[in-house]
Structure 1
Amino acid sequence: MPRTVTVGLDGLPESRAAADWAAREADLLGRPLKLVHVPETLPGPLHQLPFYGTETHQRWTERVLDETAEGLRLRHPGVEVTVEQMDGRPGEVLCAAAQGAELLVLGSRGLGGAGGWLLGSVGLFVVARAERPVVLVRAGEQAADEHEMDPAGVPSAATVFRPVVLGLDTACPDESLLAFAFGAACRRATSLRVVHGWEAPPSSAYGLARGPGPDEALARSETAALDDVLRPWRQAFRRVEVSGRARCGSPAAQVIGACRDACLVVVGRRARRGPAGARIGPVTHAVLHHAAVPVAVVPHC
C-alpha cells in the first residue's frame, strides 16, 4: 500500500491552505492524499455556542471533510483523495497518522508584517515527535506563491518554481535530510540553496577588535566541509542546480534570510529524546516561527 501525503484538517484557513499545498505535493509525488480530522481540533468559537452539540459537531465535520475533499478532487483530478475521522488527543492522533505517511502537512497562522508564524501547542507537539517529515503551511499560502514572478511582476503558477532552501549542519549531515531537500528541488525542477552557518568562536572577538576580520582559515574549513558533503549529492542529482553558502553567524538567521524568496525551506530535527523529552532544537524552532514560506521538518538520527 503506497504511503500517503496526509494533512490534518480542522476547517480553519490555515488547514485549508495546508490541504491545498498537500494536494500539490501529492500530485508531484504521485501519491494519494489523505485528509485527517480529529474532532477536538474544531474551532474554539463553535464550542461556545449554546446550541452546539454532538449532532451539530458531526454535521459540521462531515461538511468540512466532504467540501474540502471535493474541491481538491476538482482542482487536482489526478490525485486520489480519501478522508478519515479519528478520535483521541489531536497531537497523538496526528503523530500516529504520520507513521504511515510519506509526510504530514499541518497549517500554521501567519503573523503578517515581517512574516512569521504562530505555531500552536498541537503543531509543536507533532513536529517534536512525529517519525516522518512534517510540513507547516501558512494561512493564505497559494500555489502562485511558490513560483517566480511573471513578466508582469506577479507570481504565477505558469512560471518556474522558486528555489528550495536547506539548512544544514555539516557536523551531522544526515542523508534523510539531504534526500528530502534534493528530492523536493528535483520534483519542482528548481534550484537548491544549501545554507550552513556557524557561530564565531570566543577567541575571534579579540582578533576582530584588532581589525583583521573573520577567521579566514575557519571560513575556508567550513566551506570545504560543506562542499565535501554536497559533492556526492550533486553527482546523484545532476539536474538540480545547487549553491552552497557557509557563513559565520547565527545558523537560524542565515536560513531565515536565505528563504525569503524560496518556495520551501527544509530543516532537520534530531529524533532521539533527551532527559527533558522531545525537543525541536533552537535553529529549527526559530525557522518555524520566523520563516515566511512552508517549512519541512525532517527527523533524523
Structure 2
Amino acid sequence: MLRPVIAGVDGSAESLAAAEWAAREAVRRERPLRLVHARSWHPRQDGEPAPAAQRHLARRVLRQAEDRIRRTCPNVVLDDEQVEGPATAALLRMAEQADVLVLGSRGLSGFTGFLVGSVAQSVVARAERPVVLVRAGEEAADEHLPAGDGSDSTRTGYRDVVLALDLGDPCDEVIEFAFEAARTRGARLRAVHAWQSPSPLTLGPGEIGLVEEPHRAEEWLGFMTAVLQVWRDKYPGVEVAETVTEGRPQSVLVRAASGASVLVVGRRMTDRPAGPRTGPVTHAAIHHVGCPVAVVAHA
C-alpha cells in the first residue's frame, strides 16, 4: 500500500496553503492525500471522548480544506482523519505513516523571515520522515516559471529544485529526495554547496582546504560532480546544475533558494542530551526561505 502525502490542517491560512501544496504533490507522486486535524483535548477521568463541539469544529476545519482542494486539485485521491492531540505528538505519529508530511508556516516579511510555530518546529526537529513547510499565500503558480509576458502561470515549466548539499557529509536520503522532486516536476535540480576558507586549526590531513586558494572552488566542484554522478546515472532525465560558493552556508542557501519551486535540506537525527534540533543551516532555511522547504531526516 502506498504511503499517502499527509497535510496537517487547523483552519489557518498557512495550513490551507499547505494542504493545497500537498494535494499537488500527491498528484505528482501518484499517491493519495490525507488531511489530518489534531484535536487538542483533555479526556475526563472516566475516559469520556472529546466533546461533540470539538468534533464538529474538527469536521468543519477538514471540510473547509477539502472543499478548497476539490476546487483547485480535483484529480487528487483524498481522505481525512481526526486524531487526538496534543498536536505535536499526533503529527509525529502521522508522519510515521506518511510519504511526506506537509505543514504550514506563517509569513512575516522578507526582512524578519517566517514565523514557524512551535508545533511545526517540534515536528521538523523530531520526525523521521520528510517534512515540508509551506508559507501562507503559496499558490500553484509560485512553483512555475513566469509566462513570456512576465505574468504568473501554471502552464509553464517548474522553477528549479534546489538541493543544499553538504559535501562534508553527503547523505543519500537527502539527495534522492531532491532528485525525485525534480523528476516528478520535470524541473532542473540545482545543487548548492557553500565553503569557507579554513583556518590552520580546522584542517585535517588531505582536506580540500590544503589546496591553494585559487583552485579551492574547482576542487569542491569536482568533488560535487563525483558525489552526484551515481544519481545522474539513476535519474538520466534530470538536468543538474552544480554550484559551489564561498561564503556563510546560511546566507548562501537563502540566496540560492530565491525563485526555487522547493528547497531540500537535511537534518541529522541525533541522540545527544540536548535533544532534537534542526542545525543552523536548516534553521535558517525554514525561517528565511520563501519557497516550500523540505526537511529530510538522515542518520
Length-normalised TM-score, structure 1: 0.89
Shift of 1:54: 4.3
Q: Deviations over 1:5-27 (max 9, x none)?
A: 00110000000000000000000
Q: Does 1:12 align with 2:12?
A: yes
1:184 to 176, 181, 196: 181
1:165 partner letter = V
Which residue type is aligned with residue 151 of structure 1? G
Structure 2 letter corresponding to 1:285: H
Mapped contact 1:5–1:34 kept (Cα < 8 A): yes
Counterparts of 1:51-62 in structure 2, within 5 Å, are 54-62=51-59
- Between the aligned partners of 1:113 and 1:70, the Cα distance in structure 2 is 31
Structure 1's consecutive aligned runs of 4 or more residues displaced over 4 angstroms after TM superposition are: none
Aligned with 2:274 (options 252, 273, 276): 276
1:160 paired with 2:157, answer: yes
In 2, the alpha carbon distance for the partners of 1:273 and 1:220 equals 36
Of the three residues 42, 67, 70, the one matched with 2:67 is 70
Q: CA deviation at 1:216?
A: 2.1
User: RMSD between aligned alpha carbons?
Assistant: 1.8
Q: Aligned partners of 2:143, 2:121: CA distance in 1, in Å?
A: 24
Contact 2:14–2:134 (Cα < 8 Å) also in 1 = yes
Post-superposition offset of 1:230: 1.1
Letter of the aligned partner of 1:217 in structure 2?
H
Q: What is the alpha-carbon distance in structure 2 between the residues aligned to residue 7 and residue 160 of structure 1? A: 25
What's the CA shift string for 1:121-154, capped at 9, x where partnerless?
1111100100100000000100001111112211
Q: Return the TM-score normalized by structure 2.
A: 0.89
CA distance in 2, matches of 1:273, 1:283: 19
Percent of paired sites with the same residue: 45
Match of 2:83 in 1: 86
* Rounded Cα–Cα distance in structure 2 between residues aligned with 1:231 and 1:113: 35
Contact 1:147–1:156 (CA<8 Å) still a contact in 2?
yes
How do residues 1-301 of structure 1 correspond to structure 2 at under 5 angstroms?
1-40=1-40, 54-114=51-111, 116-202=113-199, 215-301=213-299
Please give the alpha-carbon distance, in whole angstroms, between the structure 1 residues aligned to 2:70 and 2:78: 7
- Rounded to whole Å, the distance in 2 between the matches of 1:70 and 1:14 is 16
Whole-Å separation in 2 of the counterparts to 1:294 and 1:18: 9
- Unpaired runs of 5+ residues, structure 2, are 42-49, 202-211
The secondary structure found in structure 1 opposite 2:99 is strand
The alignment covers a number of residue pairs equal to: 281
For 2:223, the aligned partner's letter is A
Deviation of 1:65 (Å): 0.8
